[in-house]
Amino acid sequence: MTQAPKARPSARTRSRAAADVFMKLLRDDHAGLSRVLREIDAQQSALTSTPETARAVLAEAVRYLLVFQHSIHHPREDLLFSRIRDREPALYRNIRPLVREHRIGQERAETLAWTLSRATPEQLRGKLGVQLSRQLQKYVEKTRAHMRREEAVFYTGSERVLRSSDWAALMAGPMPRDPAGDLHRLAARYPRLAARLAQSERMVTGPGERAPRPQDRPGLRQRAEHVAELCGEVLHETVELARRGIADLGAVRSPLGLARVSVEIGTRSCRHAAKLATLPFRR
Amino acid sequence: MTSWQTTTASLLARLTVKQQLQRDVSVERLREQIGAIERLFPGHPPGFMVAHDHPLPDCDAEWLREKGSSTDRVILHFPGGAYVVRLPNMERAMMARLCTAANARARLVFYRLAPEHPFPAGHEDSVGAYEQLLELGVNPERIVVSGISAGGGMALAVLLALRDRGLPLPAGAILMSPLTDLTDPNDGTRVANAVRDPVLSHKRGIEMRAMYAGDSPEMLVHPWVSPAFGDYAGLPPLFFQAGSTEILLDDSRRCVERARAAGVSAELEVWNEMPHGWQGLPFIPESQRAIEHCSDFVRQRCP
């Protein structure tokens, strides 16, 4: 029996497949970057309180940004942008700010890396640490916003505009994968960052805040919380008592009824006062 | 340092919400009192479209999408409220911020509440909402399920049910301070954080859980009721957030332990001194920060 020859994929199908592969690569780069940005944000707030550990992780995270995101991922996107410019200048007008953001982002990351490498732990505990923490936070915010814009502007537009020859050209060069997509690969080059990402539980603190330790004794804050808890309880019981008293008085229809309600309200109030007086001892 | 907004919100919650939750009041009264918080939030998040397309047979559900945005990422969200109360405006406002940050659209499922509709009504509604997304042609790899408080427990219970039924699973799950153990254990953070937690109280836990799942011990340890007892093998990556002073902190810890033991990627972010449900309070800076972390997870799972 003779088999019907397999139909060769059309140029359109091949183009579509290449587009899918290339766009998936870009999307995967964003996935890795998002994971690392989350860690940078968690570490920047610990920079002034635990500078030794935070700096070690942040230095590797920023190096990852420079080595992969700024040196491989952004040039990859810039190539795509240049193809779009040739095919549809109108779409490129929306993309142009993104190219500028790539350059500015790289400059910011270089400055961060330089400052992180030179600062001493003592300096990081002080004003420099606060400044650096803010710069890192700003970098994270700007990069997230940049990714959002990229998704909105060219994720769908490029597949519509580019032709099969464009995708073939984009796919021609080497296609290194983002190491952040695989913790084992990441650990080979960025061991502290990878170790941190592999942890099951991570503490996120506010700026300059130290993570609480088990040996910490209850502080003033906890005592204040306890007092607030008591005050809340008293307040609610008092409001409830007053509400009941008003409702009872509203239901009075005779002088005898008024006398009975007055006695009841008096008794309840005395009982409540006694409860309040003994509350701290019962706790 | 914890922001002054968080400190103020925690104090107010301690003086109001926590007191209401530990008092012996009817469900109607509780809904009325807790519902007063709703006035802080707009019914319709500015810049968003709320659509009621694709209704579910037994409960309300809605689509939330930023005007002018086009995205194929879907966050299937289950609201919180101990399975008996609900704050739809607050949930909608929180999801609007998450949708903006993650460039996604959200499907909010207002599953039926106890005591009028005890388990498994709400669970069936929630599983049905996911199945409907599949029927509508949404790629499961572009879906992240999420939930806050009891909604977080519901999200986990839905994942376990989907896995048990052999349905394609979503790309990941965001669990914000989930309630995952209805046996109300008398140890760990349920006890250690009883005073420190500014929102939740341990006192009416037994009564609340009875409304949802009854008193049968077998029922309370069923993984679709208390996902902390589930087998997590085969589930997608899980991302937990909880405050360090919450009574529910150990609920997340136990799930993360079980998930990792089963070879599932799971991580917990413990936010220092954050009150239960802080992600839903837009006026505190840590809320937006936590939402951005969730959006990073969405982008990581649905690039």
Q: What is the pLDDT along chain B (303 residues), one digit of tens a residue?
A: 788 898 888 888 888 888 888 777 788 888 888 888 888 888 899 999 999 999 999 999 999 999 988 889 999 999 999 999 999 999 999 999 999 999 999 999 999 999 999 999 999 999 999 999 999 999 999 999 999 999 999 999 999 999 999 999 999 999 999 999 998 888 889 888 888 899 988 777 778 888 999 888 888 999 999 999 999 999 999 999 999 999 999 999 999 999 999 999 999 999 999 999 999 999 999 999 999 999 999 999 999
pLDDT at A8: 63
A195 close to A187: Cβ distance less than 8 angstroms: yes
Please name the member of B14, B271, B296 whose beta carbon is closest to the beta carbon of A204.
B271
pLDDT interval class at A215 (50, 70, 90):
low
Q: Among residues A236, A218, A234, which one has the least CA distance to residue A278? A: A234
Residue A173 sits in the same domain as residue A246:
no
Q: How many helices (H) and strands (E) does chain B have?
A: 11, 8
> Is A260 part of the contact surface with chain B (CB cutoff 8 Å)?
no
In a domain, A281, yes or no: yes
Q: Taking CB atoms and an 8 Å cutoff, what residues of chain A touch B266?
A: 200
> Are B289 and A209 an interchain contact pair (Cβ–Cβ within 8 Å)?
no
pLDDT at A280: 66
> Is A236 part of the contact surface with chain B (CB cutoff 8 Å)?
yes
pTM for the model stands at: 0.89
Residue A63 sits in the same domain as residue A178:
yes
pLDDT interval class at A208 (50, 70, 90):
low
A38 close to A185: Cβ distance less than 8 angstroms: no
Say how many C-beta atoms besides its own lie within 10 A of residue A200's C-beta.
14
Q: Taking CB atoms and an 8 Å cutoff, what residues of chain B touch A222?
A: 195-196
Residue A96 sits in the same domain as residue A224:
no
Tokens of A100: 């500028």
* Amino acid type, B93: A
B126 close to B154: Cβ distance less than 8 angstroms: yes
In a domain, A213, yes or no: no
Residue A107 sits in the same domain as residue A160:
yes
pLDDT at A223: 79
Q: Taking CB atoms and an 8 Å cutoff, what residues of chain B touch A235?
A: 15, 19
> Considering A165, A200, A235, which residue would you say is the last residue of a domain?
A200
In eight-state DSSP terms, residue B86 is -
Query: Residue B65: what are its φ and ψ, rounded to 5°?
Result: -145, 135
In a domain, A3, yes or no: no
Could you tell me the CATH number of the domain that includes residue A142?
Answer: 1.20.120.520
Q: Look at chain A and report how many structural domains it folds into.
A: 2
Residue A27 sits in the same domain as residue A122:
yes
Residue A247 sits in the same domain as residue A118:
no
Minimum mean pLDDT among A28-32, A91-95, A221-225: which range? Answer: A221-225
pLDDT at A227: 80
The sheet carrying B238-243 orders its strands as A201-204, B266-271, B238-243, B172-176, B143-148, B74-78, B105-110, B60-66, B48-51
> Is A207 part of the contact surface with chain B (CB cutoff 8 Å)?
yes
> Is A229 part of the contact surface with chain B (CB cutoff 8 Å)?
yes
- Residue of chain A nearest B257, judged by CA positions: A200
Q: What is the pLDDT of residues A121-179, one digit of tens each?
A: 999 999 999 999 999 999 999 999 999 988 887 777 787 888 888 888 888 877 888 89
What is the average pLDDT across A69-84?
90
Portion 151-170 of A in contact with B at CB < 8 A: 151-152, 156
Q: Is the pLDDT of residue A5 over 60?
A: no
Tell me what ipTM this predicted complex has.
0.89
Provide the number of CB pairs (under 8 Å) joining chain A to chain B: 107
Tokens of A35: 């994971």
Say how many C-beta atoms besides its own lie within 10 A of residue B261's C-beta.
12
Residue A66 sits in the same domain as residue A152:
yes
pLDDT at A224: 80
User: Which residues of B are known catalytic residues?
Assistant: 149, 246, 276
Cα(B52)–Cα(B108) distance, integer angstroms: 10
Question: A11-44 vs A191-198: helix axis angle to the nearest 10?
Answer: 90
Q: Taking CB atoms and an 8 Å cutoff, what residues of chain A touch B103?
A: 148, 151-152
In a domain, A81, yes or no: yes
Residue A268 sits in the same domain as residue A184:
no
CA distances from B247 to A237, B28, B289 (A): 24, 25, 22
> Considering A169, A200, A231, which residue would you say is the last residue of a domain?
A200
Q: What is the pLDDT of residues A167-183, one digit of tens each?
A: 888 888 778 888 988 89
Instruction: Kindly state the helix (H) or strand (E) to which residue B155 belongs, with its residue range.
Output: helix B150-164
Cα(B102)–Cα(B97) distance, integer angstroms: 9
> Is A209 part of the contact surface with chain B (CB cutoff 8 Å)?
yes
In a domain, A210, yes or no: no
Portion 118-147 of A in contact with B at CB < 8 A: 141, 144, 147
> Are A204 and B269 an interchain contact pair (Cβ–Cβ within 8 Å)?
yes
Domain that holds residue A48: 11-200
> Considering A147, A168, A200, which residue would you say is the last residue of a domain?
A200
> Is A91 part of the contact surface with chain B (CB cutoff 8 Å)?
no
Q: Name the burial class of residue A81, with classes exposed (0-12), middle (13-18) and buried (19+) by CB atoms within 10 angstroms of its CB.
A: buried
Residue A52 sits in the same domain as residue A121:
yes
Is the pLDDT higher at B297 or at A248? B297
pLDDT at B215: 80
Residue A90 sits in the same domain as residue A226:
no
In a domain, A207, yes or no: no
Please provide the average confidence, as pLDDT, over all residues in chain A.
86
Of the spans A228-232, A267-271, B290-294, which averages the highest pLDDT? B290-294
pLDDT at A186: 93
In a domain, A261, yes or no: yes
In a domain, A117, yes or no: yes
Residue A15 sits in the same domain as residue A70:
yes
Minimum mean pLDDT among A33-47, A71-85, A268-282, B286-300: which range? Answer: A268-282
- Residue of chain A nearest B301, judged by CA positions: A31
pLDDT at A43: 93
CA distances from A200 to A211, B64, B239, B245 (A): 16, 32, 10, 19
Please name the member of B268, B272, B289 whose beta carbon is closest to the beta carbon of A201.
B268
> Are A206 and B272 an interchain contact pair (Cβ–Cβ within 8 Å)?
yes
Residue A26 sits in the same domain as residue A74:
yes
